[in-house]
Amino acid sequence: MPGANFSGLRVLSLESRRSVEVAKLIRTYGGEPLTAPAMREVPLDSNRPVLEFAEALMRGAFDLVIFTTGVGVRTLVKIVSEHYDREQFLAALRSIKIAARGPKSSSALRELDIPIAVVAPEPFTWRSLMSAIDANLGSSLQGMNLAVQEYGTSNPELLTALAEKSVSITRLLVYQWALPEDVQPLREAVLALAHGHVDVVLFMNAGQVAHMFLMAERMGYTESLYEGFRSTLIGSIGPSTTEGLTLYGLQPDFEPTQSKMGFLINEISQKASALLEQKRSAAALHVSSIPPAPVSPLLRGERSAPLAGKPALSAVDFLHEIGSRMAASDPLHTVLDRIVDFACSVINCDSCFVYVLEDNQLVLRASKNPHSDLVDHLGIWLGQGITGWVGWHREPVAIPTKALKDPRFKRFKDLPEDTFEAFLSVPILCRSKLVGVINLQHRKPYHHTENEVHLLTAIGHLVGAELERARLETENMQLSDRLESRKHIERAKGVLQRDFGLDEESAYKAMQRESRQRRKSMREIAEAIILNEDLRRSRLGEIGKTAVREPSAQTPNDSSEPLDLCS
């Protein structure tokens, strides 16, 4: 579409279920997508409240049920159908009044042939839903017993408005929101926003806002996140999401004409460049009105300023920061994240990578920008590319412009930073031994001063011992876990060989088969076999004691039946 173009801006999406479609749309409209799923839907710990609602509904206890999400409709019917007659439950729903908050819940209800008495108009907020209920039901709402299907969390404003007009309200929660299982992309997104390396951020629901700030709070980055939002264009899919942003003191810079994903991405792409320029100009004016922080001797003479609103580190602060992080004894990935964060705080850059040496390969273990598909997967052989050259020669490399034309350069698939102009790479050393490599990259030409090169090299020397400690500790924990698992598996194999007359290979294959079928690890299967064996022995011991006290008692066959894991 003419005029719809992000013009290469970095666009962060926090969408989970449709992350692939969102990334594709952003790329279609000329943006560089950054994806960091912020939430996932998880089942409740107990379905008892849902089943109690179903029982009450089929007894005729409700006059109106309000559905707020399509997922909620489908999940409710699925849970109830596993315990009660599905058609009887649907018939009960068809016999009462139904209200739907938006098109997704309406569509799910129509699929089930459930008549809808009230449909909220755009923008599908709780206010528009309440207005539609008032317009359609009016005074008849007085005295009704209501049930409200909630979407991952409660909406206190809607519940309060309904409570003023009805006899009773039953909250119906059929699923809940949680942080994603892999929170690393969300952590990287918080860092990228905090340091001003995202141009546009898109929020599709209020839960994404809450989870982003939850992660920032856990990282100690809440203030930095607010600072980053001052120079980042905020897009909200609609009024409900805007209300979520408002709760955290943020106002979106853009809302689409319709509260739909496609409209948001298309329409914001048309205005993003102009809106972003206005916002950053206003932020620059605000920063310029703040008295400058004193520049430390370590950073004096640099042309790169500290990040907006963040004072430069003094020499004492620099040593204290490094020392405290070395003394923390944190896990490997925590140490790596701190190295990225610290390097970016002293030298303003567009990208930072940390590679760790493992079996003659430099493996990408941490990144400032979200690269969840590459972190822990991308490996570079020593001597390969500029990073490999730095690792092999243990010398820093600073390239001010056209880094991709350097004869040592090697391009890697799906790594947009490879197109950046300037490049600074330094080795991480411990007792003259290579531990890893730190890379800083800039989108535009940038001449790194001698002071900057020395500073990043000093960071590499100072964190080398801590990084090596964290890496070895992680390896030791993994090795210890593998040895412990091996011990359990060997003992379990012995139990199967004795009880079922199997050879060693057959016993191992039987455990493998159980592992696949039950979707459990080999160690979990082994622990189950061992537990069964221990219980059997304990029971035989108790029976033996009873037999001594009561000679007439019959002693059972010694081969008590074990867990049927090999049938």
Give CA–CA dist 216/357, Å, rounded.
29
Q: Helix (H, G, I), strand (E, B), or coil: what is residue 190?
A: helix
User: What does the pLDDT average to over 166-194?
Assistant: 84
In angstroms and rounded to an integer, the radius of gyration of the C-alpha atoms of the chain is 30
Q: Specify the amino acid at residue 421.
A: E
pLDDT for 322 equals: 56
* Residues 28 and 101 reside in one and the same domain: no
Cα 525 to chain centroid, rounded: 30
Distance (Å, whole) CA 470 – CA 21:
38
Q: What is the mean pLDDT of the chain?
A: 80
Residue with tokens 């459930």: 114
Q: What percent of the chain has pLDDT over 90?
A: 25
Burial of 203 (0-12, 13-18, 19+ CB in 10 A): buried
Q: Which range among 5-14, 107-116, 120-129, 256-265 shows the weakest confidence by mean pLDDT?
A: 120-129
Lowest mean pLDDT among 60-64, 149-153, 330-334: 330-334
Quote the CA–CA distance of 240 and 542 in Å, as a whole number: 64
CATH number at 89 reads 3.40.50.10090
- Farthest-apart Cα atoms in the chain, separation: 97
| Distance, CA of 366 to CA of 101 (rounded, Å) | 42
The mean per-residue pLDDT over the stretch 8-16 comes to: 92
**Residues 469 and 326 placed together within one structural domain of the fold:** yes
Q: What backbone phi and psi angles, to 5 degrees, belong to 73?
A: -60, -50
Instruction: Quote the tokens at residue 462.
Output: 């100072």
Is residue 5 within 8 A of residue 29, CB to CB? The reply is yes
Q: Roughly what angle, to the nearest 10 degrees, separates helices 332-346 and 315-327?
A: 170
Instruction: Tell me: do 424 and 459 sit in the same domain.
Output: yes
Is the domain of 58 the same as that of 160?
yes
Q: Are 548 and 470 in a shared domain?
A: no
> What percent of the residues of the chain are helix, what percent strand, and what percent coil, each to the nearest 5?
50, 15, 35
pLDDT tens digits, residue range 437-462? 999 999 888 888 888 888 888 878 77
Same domain, 186 and 127: no
Considering the domain architecture, whether residues 279 and 381 belong to the same structural domain is answered as: no
Sorting pLDDT into bands at 50, 70 and 90, what band is 313? Answer: very low
pLDDT digits 0-9 by tens, 529-561: 988 888 888 777 777 666 655 554 444 444 444
Measured between alpha carbons, how far is 164 from 132 in angstroms, rounded to an integer? 16
Neighbours of 145 (CB within 10 A): 17
Contacts of 527 (CB under 8 A, 6+ apart): 488, 492
Alpha carbon separation from 513 to 509, 510, 527 (Å, rounded): 6, 5, 15
Q: Say which residue, 404 or 12, is predicted with more confidence.
A: 12
Indicate if 405 and 344 belong to the same structural domain.
yes
Do 62 and 152 sit in the same domain of this protein? yes
Mean pLDDT confidence for 106-133? 89
pLDDT at 315 over 90: no
User: pLDDT (tens digit, 9 = 90+) per residue, 216-251?
Assistant: 888 888 888 999 999 999 999 988 788 888 888 899
Residue 77, judged by CB atoms within 10 A of its CB (0-12, 13-18, 19+), counts as: buried
Q: Residues 287-315: what's their mean pLDDT? A: 43
State the total domains in the chain: 4
Q: What percent of the chain has pLDDT over 70?
A: 81
Is pLDDT of 141 > 90?
no
Answer whether residue 434 is part of any domain.
Answer: yes
Looking at 235, 269, 286, the residue that finishes a domain is 286
* Residue 342 confidence class, pLDDT cut points 50, 70, 90: confident
Residue 487 lies in a domain: no
Please check whether residues 512 and 538 belong to one and the same domain: yes
**359 domain-assigned:** yes
Residue 262 counted as domain residue: yes
Q: What is the pLDDT of residue 537?
A: 81
Average of per-residue pLDDT across 377-388:
85
Please provide the size of the chain in residues: 567
> Do 353 and 412 touch, CB atoms closer than 8 A?
no
Average pLDDT value for residue range 252-276: 92
User: What's the first-to-final CA gap in the chain, in angstroms?
Assistant: 62
Domain boundary among 121, 144, 178: 178
In a domain, 341, yes or no: yes
pLDDT value at residue 546:
65
Q: Residue 239 is part of which domain span?
A: 10-39+182-286
pLDDT computed for residue 153 by the predictor = 62
Residue type, 153: T
Two structure tokens written together for 337: 């994240």
Helix axis angle for 184-194 and 222-229, nearest 10°, is 60
Residue-level pLDDT at 66: 93
Same domain, 371 and 246: no
The residues, ordered by sequence, that sit 6+ positions from 253 with a Cβ below 8 Å of its Cβ are 233, 234, 235, 275, 279
Specify if 562 maps to a domain: yes
pLDDT for residue 295: 40
In the listed set 154, 178, 202, which residue is the last one of a domain according to the structure? 178
- pLDDT, average across residues 320-338: 61
More confident of the two residues 472 and 308: 472
**Tens digit of each residue's pLDDT (9 = 90 or more) over 77-109:** 999 998 999 999 999 999 999 999 888 899 999
Residue 531 domain-assigned?
A: yes
**Is residue 413 assigned to a domain?**
yes
Q: Are 298 and 320 in contact (CB under 8 A)?
A: no
Whether omega for the bond prior to residue 123 falls within 30 degrees of 0, making it cis, is yes
Domain shared by 85 and 191, yes or no: no
366: left (phi over 0), alpha (psi -120 to 50) or beta: beta
The DSSP bridge partners found for residue 85 are none
